[in-house]
A = this chain, B = another copy of it.
Amino acid sequence: MANQLTYNVAVVGATGAVGQQMIRILEERNFPVKQLKLLASSRSAGKTVKFQGQEVVVEEATPDSFAGVDYALFSAGGAISKELAHHAVRHGAVVIDNTSAFRMDPEVPLVVPEVNMDAALAHKGIIANPNCSTIQMVAALKPLYDRYGIDRIIVSTYQAVSGAGASAIEELLTQSRDVLDGKEPECKVLPVGKLPVHHQIAFNAIPQIDVFTENGFTFEEMKMTNETKKIFGDESVAVSATCVRIPVVYGHSESVYVELKQDYDLEEVKALLEKAPGIVLVDDPENQRYPLATEATGKLDVFVGRLRRDLTHQRGLHMWIVSDNLLKGAAWNTVQIAEELIKARA
């Protein structure tokens, strides 16, 4: 397509776990890139990253890095987004921000393309990417929300360490080897690097992701509550979450109980999920088939299975939702928003 429009794309946080996946996906998806600008902190400036066979030099992200940029994909932490996103907008870029910096800003749409792409189209320069654990849940629930309505959700998560960055991956792998070798594992990253207490993640389950809020829920849990309402554009959808880190490298799993507003037919639910965009139904108990983190790793889709009616609540439905937290949960959802914006313009 010689006369296809192409775009200048900046990736901010290009050397991070999510940034690396963004670059990989831009390449894999043949995103119409005219020029790729890789930005990071001064610490990473000068490194090179391969893109479409060429070495691209990483530059330090500054307020003036965004001249001529069409799409600026941010994933360098909330502080960097707060500092630089408005400069990118000032230079005419559309910012798609993977941090929590603007997610609850009423001026900024919070977008999962399968759910509320209409909100993205009304953006004022910045579009926020939701939290990984929220994205996969709302993508899977969208067809049920549309057909039956949702009263409430109770979710318990089984989250991979990659959600806490490259240092958490390193910590899990090092600790695992230490435990296997009979050595005392060192704990310095999880549950939250900047907090004083750290716990072993290897061969353990840590019921804390992000800091605690006043109501006893963690910030990660409240993200699931608040972001779900915002994405559905419906304050009446109640979400109570328990977010748990487990010794998995890639792929968040979620045990989701949802109370629908109307009675449902289980076979219809399966049919709705089977044809839903971005969703893969893996639900064959007879052959022991259900979504698994190991099988979701590297895939763009959200996998759903273990569908079954609650034993006592007629409108209650249980499901198991798995997706690669760095892809649909972060890098892919970000690039996907950009792809959909381009499609909508075309």
Contacts from A to B (Cβ < 8 Å):
152, 154, 156, 158, 173, 176-177, 180, 191, 195-197, 199-200, 203-208, 212, 215-217, 225, 238-240, 242, 244, 246-249, 253, 255, 257, 285-294, 305-313, 316, 318, 320
Contacts and interface: CB of A to CB of B under 8 A. Distances in A.
Contact of A246 (B207, B208, B225, B246): B246
B309 A215 contact: yes
A215 B310 CA distance: 10
Contact of A207 (B176, B206, B320): B320
A197 B311 contact: no
Nearest to A291: B207
A154 B257 contact: yes
A293 B206 CA distance: 8
B318 A242 contact: yes
A196 to B, nearest CB: 8
Contact of A205 (B197, B248, B307, B311): B248
B242 A195 contact: no
Contacts of A253: 205, 207, 244
A225 B177 CA distance: 38
A212 B285 contact: yes
Contact of A216 (B156, B204, B285): B285
Given A240-B316, A253-B207, A316-B240, A199 B292 contact: yes
Contact of A294 (B203, B225, B238): B203
A292 B240 contact: no
Contacts of A173: 180
Contacts of A291: 207
Contacts of A292: 199-200, 204-206
Contacts of A207: 253, 255, 290-291, 305-306, 320
14 contacts: A176-B180, A197-B287, A197-B289, A204-B294, A205-B292, A206-B292, A212-B286, A215-B309, A225-B311, A239-B311, A240-B310, A242-B306, A247-B247, A255-B255
Nearest to A218: B285
A208 B282 CA distance: 14
Given A203-B247, A217-B308, A225-B311, 4 more contacts: A205-B253, A206-B292, A212-B288, A247-B247
A191 B288 contact: yes
A175 B313 CA distance: 39
